[in-house]
Chain A
Amino acid sequence: MTTTRVIPCLDVRDGRVVKGVRFQGLRDAGSPAEQAERYAAEGADELVLLDVSATLEGRRAASAAIEAVRAVLDVPLTVGGGVGSVADARRLLQHGADKVGVNSAAVARPRLLDELAAEFGSQCVVLAVDARRSDGAWEVLTRSGSQAEPLDVAAWCAEGADRGAGEILLTSWDRDGTCSGYDLDLLRSVRAAVSVPIVASGGADSPEHMAEAGAAGADAVLAASIFHDRRWTVGAVKARLAELGMEVRS
């Protein structure tokens, strides 16, 4: 049936791919277009590009990076980072994104999700949520993980889906870059709250971690470090997932 998607993630700052641990200590991990081309050739089902630039110049470089990635990519591309309005989303779509991710701005003004869905359709709107464990539950983090919000993650995801988000990109802040596996309890908690697809993110170090995420309710598994560091190719991950009994696009 619908296959589990394997999605390499490119965090892009000032036009270059970067990767850190818990959103900090970013190091250079290559050219976005070169990475995209390699991952597409390896069988990536989709790509996520998150612009983590802090400056206007950085944003401009990201626009060029999106166009360069689009030119070499023949699978879906989700782009997020700094989306605060319908106009921002349209700009990303015009540069070549197929779906748009929104995070902090939706927390600040939830109606943005309704507006994006009305303009582009739910299938185009991805609610990106950064979650941190807190007293047995999960709190929502915004501003690249720097600000805690008085919001329960599962409740916020449910509200987001009601407002028109067609997918949840769920990142565990605790696991990000730690290679210790996805936060499965977090996935189960959000799975119970929404019927839209969930992309698991944060902590993947092996196909086994991805299979666990699928069993916990993820429709897609996102990873960065294991692909950037070339510990696994996308193709090898998918072959292993198939051995583990998951349906993947061959």
Chain B
Amino acid sequence: MSGVVIVDTGVANLRSMETALVRAGRRPERTNDPERVRSAEFVVLPGVGSFARGTAALRGGLGESLRRRIEDGGATLAVCLGMQLLADSSEEDAGAVGLGVLPGRIVRLAAERVPHLGWSPVAPADAAAWPAPGYAAFAHSYALPAASVVDLAADGWSAATCPSAGGFVAAVRRGAVVGCQFHPELSGAWGRDLIDDWLNGTEVGS
């Protein structure tokens, strides 16, 4: 099945992402059907609320569909809590289990100011040179620690980091699978380019 679907877990605010995808010339549909999530051409996993809430929303087949499409390299964009849900676990909710496609544990930001709200610089952490350095809009209290970059590389992920709020992994990419701790749909022209590149399959650095 083709098209762009947004995983609708019933708690996230989907409007800004929908608007961004419409701006990119797509007609996104909301779904919570595991089959559609498995087979859609493009899948966006938005995120809001807590880690435990997010993992609970992915039970009943959604999480398994996501894991399989990500392992197959299907075009997937996981945003904010959505990216965190790809990790093994989170300090936010010790008992909750993530999808485990990103190695590591999500930790609370070690910063003077939490939540980390607003615009901070993002730059590539490796030779993949993705994404283009720029300012991204963040709204979060937890993130993948910057030290995870090594384990990510071992699993084939390129990464970008943000030096603000104590430093953390701001984005990951493996082929058509992209995770963003920031909100590309709220990151102005820079975010628009990132979404366009993802939709157009632009392989930066290849």
Set of chain B residues within 8 Å of A123, measured between Cβ atoms: 115, 117, 139-141
Set of chain B residues within 8 Å of A120, measured between Cβ atoms: 11, 13, 48-49
Set of chain B residues within 8 Å of A167, measured between Cβ atoms: 115, 117
Could you give, for residues 219-250 of chain A, a 1 whenever the CB lies within 8 Å of some chain B CB and a 0 otherwise? Answer: 11000000000000000000000000000011
Set of chain A residues within 8 Å of B165, measured between Cβ atoms: 1-2
Set of chain A residues within 8 Å of B138, measured between Cβ atoms: 2
Q: A-B pairs with CB below 8 Å: how many? A: 108
User: Does A81 belong to the interface (CB within 8 Å)?
Assistant: no
Q: Chain B residue with minimal CB distance to A4?
A: B118
Set of chain B residues within 8 Å of A249, measured between Cβ atoms: 119, 135
B117/A197 in contact, CB under 8 A = yes
Number of residues from A at the complex interface, CB < 8 A: 36
B13/A93 in contact, CB under 8 A = yes
A98 touches which of B16, B81, B120, B189 (Cβ 8 Å): B16
Q: Chain A residue with minimal CB distance to B22?
A: A71
User: Does A95 belong to the interface (CB within 8 Å)?
Assistant: yes
**A99–B23 Cα gap in the complex (Å)?**
21
**A197–B140 Cα gap in the complex (Å)?**
12
Minimum CB–CB distance for B109 against chain A, Å: 11
The segment out of B58-66, B97-105, B180-188, B196-204 that lies at the interface is B180-188
Q: Chain B residue with minimal CB distance to A76?
A: B186
User: Does B67 belong to the interface (CB within 8 Å)?
Assistant: no
**A195–B197 Cα gap in the complex (Å)?**
37
Minimum CB–CB distance for B82 against chain A, Å: 13
Set of chain B residues within 8 Å of A1, measured between Cβ atoms: 120-121, 163-165
User: Does B69 belong to the interface (CB within 8 Å)?
Assistant: no
User: Does A124 belong to the interface (CB within 8 Å)?
Assistant: yes
User: Does B137 belong to the interface (CB within 8 Å)?
Assistant: yes
Chain B residues 123-149 with CB under 8 Å of chain A are 135, 137-141
Instruction: Pick the most buried of A98, A120, A121, A197: most chain B CB atoms within 10 A of its CB.
Output: A121
Query: 4 more A-B contacts (CB under 8 A) besides A93-B13, A167-B117?
Result: A74-B186, A122-B141, A195-B113, A197-B113
* Chain A residues proximal to chain B, CB less than 8 Å: 1-3, 5, 40, 45-46, 70-71, 74-77, 93-99, 118-124, 166-167, 195-197, 219-220, 249-250
A–B complex contacts, Cβ < 8 Å, 8 sampled: A1-B121, A46-B118, A74-B19, A76-B139, A95-B15, A166-B115, A195-B113, A250-B135
